[in-house]
Amino acid sequence: MGETLKLSISTFDTLAAAQDLQAAGIGERQATAIVSAMREATGEHLATKADLEHLATRADLYKLAIGIVLANVGLTAGVMRLLL
């Protein structure tokens, strides 16, 4: 008891990401598609305040965090396959 849980919120700047991909030599249509796929994939795994209020234990938060990390690893691997 008395334990404080700190959460951080991160944002994903889709315009900056698309511009970075274009600067690296990716075409505009491909950059837009990659960024769109990343936004959709990560958006499904973001917890809302209401989701967090319903979590019963700290273990639930760890499971959620691990799921997000794994989803991002998979997404990154997919993007890397497209680029290589």
The whole-model pTM stands at 0.43
Write the DSSP string, the chain: -------------HHHHHHHHHHTT--HHHHHHHHHHHHHHHHTTPPPHHHHHT--SHHHHHHHHHHHHHHHHHHHHHHHHHH-
Residues in the chain where the model's pLDDT stays below 70: 1-12, 43-48, 51-52, 55-56
Query: What pLDDT is attached to residue 23?
Result: 93
pLDDT for the residue 28: 92
Q: What pLDDT is attached to residue 74?
A: 85
